[in-house]
């Protein structure tokens, strides 16, 4: 017996079958994939962080003598 895994497209909510025949998974189409990419690029979406520091904060060349 084969179990079919389905997910909802994160952009439009349409049901998508999760297998090798769904090249845009978890998206239903190239259009939804590009809409999502555009939202990340425009910084409309972001992953929450614990603080406002980045990896390079507090670093300077003078801190690293050679």
| 3 three-state secondary structure | coil
Predicted local confidence at residue 46, as pLDDT: 84
Neighbour count for residue 27 (Cβ, 10 Å):
22
pLDDT per residue of the chain (66 residues) written in tens, 0 to 9:
568 999 999 999 999 999 999 999 999 999 999 999 999 999 888 888 776 666 666 666 665 555
Nearest to 19 by CA among 30, 7, 9: 7
Quote the pTM value: 0.64
Going by the annotation, the residues of the binding site are 9, 12, 28, 32
Q: Which CATH number is correct for 1-44, 3.30.50.10, 3.40.630.30, 2.60.40.420, 1.50.10.20?
A: 3.30.50.10
Tokens of 46: 């972001």
Backbone angles phi, psi at 7, to 5 degrees: -135, 165
CB 28 within 8 A of CB 20: no
Predicted local confidence at residue 48, as pLDDT: 83
Going by the annotation, the residues of the binding site for Zn(2+) are 9, 12, 28, 32
């Amino acid at each position: 017996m084969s179990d079919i895994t389905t997910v909802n497209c994160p952009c439009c909510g349409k049901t998508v079958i999760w297998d090798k025949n769904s090249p845009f998974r978890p998206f239903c189409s190239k259009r939804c994939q590009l809409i999502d990419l555009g939202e990340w690029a425009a910084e409309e979406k972001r992953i929450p962080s614990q603080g406002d520091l980045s990896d390079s904060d507090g670093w300077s060349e003078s801190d690293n003598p050679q």
